[in-house]
Amino acid sequence: MIKYILLISFFVLIASNTFAQEKSLNIDSVSADTTKIIVSNIYIYGNNVTKNRIVLRELKFSANDTISKNKIEDLILRSKENLLNTSLFNYVSFDTSFVHKNKLNFYIYLEERWYLWPYPIFEHADRNFSSFIHNNDWDRINYGLFFVRYNFRGRNEILKIKARYGYKEQYLLYYKVPYLDRFGKNGIDARFSFFRQKEIAFNTYNNQLQFYKSQNNYIREIIDAFVSYSYRPRWDNSHLFKLKYENINIDDTIANLNSDYLGNDRRKISYFSFVYKFTSDKRDSKVYPLNGYVYSISATKSGLLRKHDINNFYINAIFSKYFMLNNKFYYNSGLKIKKSLESDNVYFIKKALGYDDYLRAFEYNVIDGTDFFIFRNNFKYELVPTKIKYYEFIPSNKFNKIYYSVYLNLFFDSGYVYDNNYDSSNSMVNEFIYSGGIGIDFVTYYDKIIRFEYSINKFGNKGFFIHFGAPILIKE
């Protein structure tokens, strides 16, 4: 929460601005009768930590390639977007120089981010920030220490260590190696975490979570571990294979309050899951996309070895399209579908909307079920184009050059959650729902987005909501 407050303060601080300028390219200096260009050399500057091969992997061209002259600018643009989407750099620019009548040198100028983040944890533990403000329960606060090392060894590797206390206690170790081989096609990552809590939601009534709290005992403990392998043969397409293990223990009181919490009045379940996911991502930005598209399909099977514990199998499909209407107007539309082919009646895993996925103006509600779809539409107007501001009083060049942009956002969301076994009080289940509203999106460096929205839903519930991050359907 502290880092978001600091970012909001930056917006108050900003008073005068200058436009970000791209270095001019010298493509037009190539002979007019030349239709093919040979990439002579590629020079990289500013990567003090990042290895050259990590940069070269994201380029849409290589040294000695022959490229159609009219495709060069598009290839440079896509290469720049790829580099920015690694989240390794705050700024990327390209330049070229004429070598021969049909040969060009390419120059890449990078400004690396700050990669080491040891920071204190002070955050809310609700499903979203607006829900936390609405509940006004300051007992639901987490605190602790989070250590993150991005771009570890200069190879875009990520190391995370977390010790979190308070409402939702957690201990976590995570390591990601996205480039195992020199071609950057194979990667692995692994995580181990341990959770425990003295208060949890044990049921849903009237589309609201019902909580039980113990003063002395931990009433739920979770061990969560996975290892995954990724294969990225080209820039835009990737395959993910994940093996996951979960072990959940609950107190007798929770099982007595809801016998379906772990299903069949159980106090403990443990199971393995296998996930396969294919993604094709051609968005200009993974953080705040304005152009391009992304689609993904995944299949998850839970209960590989011990089906008496759990037996679930479901498919997720996502498609989002982004495009510019004219110079300042943008539109995007996205659909996400979850379909269960096998599903046990286990409350703990039967989450649909109101958690990671939600409809705007339903931030205060949860809708549990086995299947759902979300259809989102956003119409955006660029109030403030991307600008850069220098703050000389900030000593580090990793932070004193701030870019930001502001968008007006009109939106309409709709969705449906299906469940064949639910409490009649949860009236939003098996019901077509929708909402709409207007908002302001602030986009700034280090992948930070702050959204202020006013929205109203089908049932007439309305309010002002704050979110951190873009309303995208696919998460990294």
For 277, the token pair is 């996911």
CB neighbour list of residue 415: distance below 8 Å, 6 or more residues apart: 353, 359, 372, 373, 374, 375, 432, 433, 434
Residue 80 in 3-state DSSP? Answer: helix
Nearest to 39 by CA among 21, 63, 59, 60: 63
Evaluate the CA torsion angle 115, 121, 122, 125 in order and state its sign: positive
Count of CB atoms situated within 10 Å of the CB of 394: 12
What would you report as the CA-atom Rg of the chain, rounded to the nearest whole angstrom? 24
Nearest to 425 by CA among 263, 204, 199: 204
The answer to whether the CB of 118 falls within 8 A of the CB of 51 is no
- Of 216-220, 235-239, 271-275, 389-393, give the lowest mean pLDDT range: 389-393
Give the strand pairing for 18-19 and 371-390.
antiparallel
Nearest to 226 by CA among 192, 194, 195: 192
Give the strand pairing for 268-281 and 292-302.
antiparallel
CA-to-CA distance for 227 and 61, rounded, in angstroms?
A: 32
Find tokens 């703990």 and name the residue. 348
What mean pLDDT comes out for the span 262-287? 94
Please report which confidence band the pLDDT of residue 460 belongs to, taking 50, 70 and 90 as the band edges: very high
In the prediction, which pLDDT does 28 show?
Answer: 55
Q: Is the pLDDT of residue 13 over 60?
A: no
In the prediction, which pLDDT does 93 show?
Answer: 94
In the prediction, which pLDDT does 31 show?
Answer: 54
Residue 96 in 3-state DSSP? Answer: strand
What mean pLDDT comes out for the span 346-375? 92
In the prediction, which pLDDT does 16 show?
Answer: 33
Q: Is the pLDDT of residue 352 over 80?
A: yes
The answer to whether the CB of 93 falls within 8 A of the CB of 28 is no
CA-to-CA distance for 212 and 223, rounded, in angstroms?
A: 21
The ranges assigned to domains in the chain are: 2-112, 116-468
Torsion angle of alpha carbons 179, 193, 131, 423, nearest 10°? 110
Q: Is the pLDDT of residue 126 over 90?
A: no
Evaluate the CA torsion angle 89, 293, 58, 20 in order and state its sign: negative
In the prediction, which pLDDT does 429 show?
Answer: 92
Give the strand pairing for 103-112 and 36-45.
parallel
Phi-psi label, residue 110: left if phi above 0, alpha if psi -120 to 50, beta otherwise: beta
What confidence tens digit (pLDDT) does each residue in 175-212 have? 999 999 888 899 999 999 999 999 999 999 999 999 99
Q: What are phi and psi of 189, to 5 degrees?
A: -150, 160
Higher pLDDT, 2 or 160: 160
Give the strand pairing for 462-468 and 371-390.
unpaired
Please report which confidence band the pLDDT of residue 307 belongs to, taking 50, 70 and 90 as the band edges: low
Strands, DSSP E only, in 419-461? 433-444, 448-457
In the prediction, which pLDDT does 30 show?
Answer: 53
What mean pLDDT comes out for the span 56-83? 92
Question: ∠ at Cα 379 (405, 434), nearest 5°?
Answer: 125
- Tell me which CATH homologous superfamily contains domain 2-112: membrane protein fhac (3.10.20.310)
In the prediction, which pLDDT does 194 show?
Answer: 97
What confidence tens digit (pLDDT) does each residue in 386-433 have? 888 888 888 888 888 888 999 999 999 999 999 988 778 898 999 999
What confidence tens digit (pLDDT) does each residue in 308-331 have? 678 899 999 999 999 999 889 999
Single pTM value for the model:
0.86
Higher pLDDT, 286 or 123: 286
What's the CATH number of domain 116-468, 2.60.120.200, 3.40.50.261, 2.40.160.50, 1.10.645.10?
Answer: 2.40.160.50
Q: What does each C-alpha distance from 327 to 334, 355, 383 come to in angstroms?
A: 22, 35, 11
CA within 13 Å, CB half, 93: 11
CA-to-CA distance for 330 and 80, rounded, in angstroms?
A: 21
Give the strand pairing for 208-213 and 141-152.
unpaired
For 202, the token pair is 């044990």
Q: State the average pLDDT for the chain.
A: 88
Please report which confidence band the pLDDT of residue 101 belongs to, taking 50, 70 and 90 as the band edges: confident
Please report which confidence band the pLDDT of residue 123 belongs to, taking 50, 70 and 90 as the band edges: confident
Nearest to 146 by CA among 172, 120, 167: 120
Q: Is the pLDDT of residue 25 over 70?
A: no
In the prediction, which pLDDT does 248 show?
Answer: 96
In the prediction, which pLDDT does 11 show?
Answer: 41
Q: What does each C-alpha distance from 376 to 79, 214, 330, 331, 335 come to in angstroms?
A: 29, 39, 14, 11, 6
In the prediction, which pLDDT does 476 show?
Answer: 62
Count of CB atoms situated within 10 Å of the CB of 113: 21
Q: Is the pLDDT of residue 20 over 50?
A: no
Please report which confidence band the pLDDT of residue 131 belongs to, taking 50, 70 and 90 as the band edges: confident
Q: Is the pLDDT of residue 102 over 80?
A: yes
Give 328-372 as a DSSP string: SEEEEEEEEEEEEEE----GGG---BSSSS--TT-TT--B--SEE
Nearest to 154 by CA among 118, 179, 190: 179
CA-to-CA distance for 2 and 120, rounded, in angstroms?
A: 9
Count of CB atoms situated within 10 Å of the CB of 219: 19
Higher pLDDT, 162 or 469: 162
The answer to whether the CB of 167 falls within 8 A of the CB of 139 is yes
Please report which confidence band the pLDDT of residue 146 belongs to, taking 50, 70 and 90 as the band edges: very high
For 151, the token pair is 């771009």
What mean pLDDT comes out for the span 457-471? 90
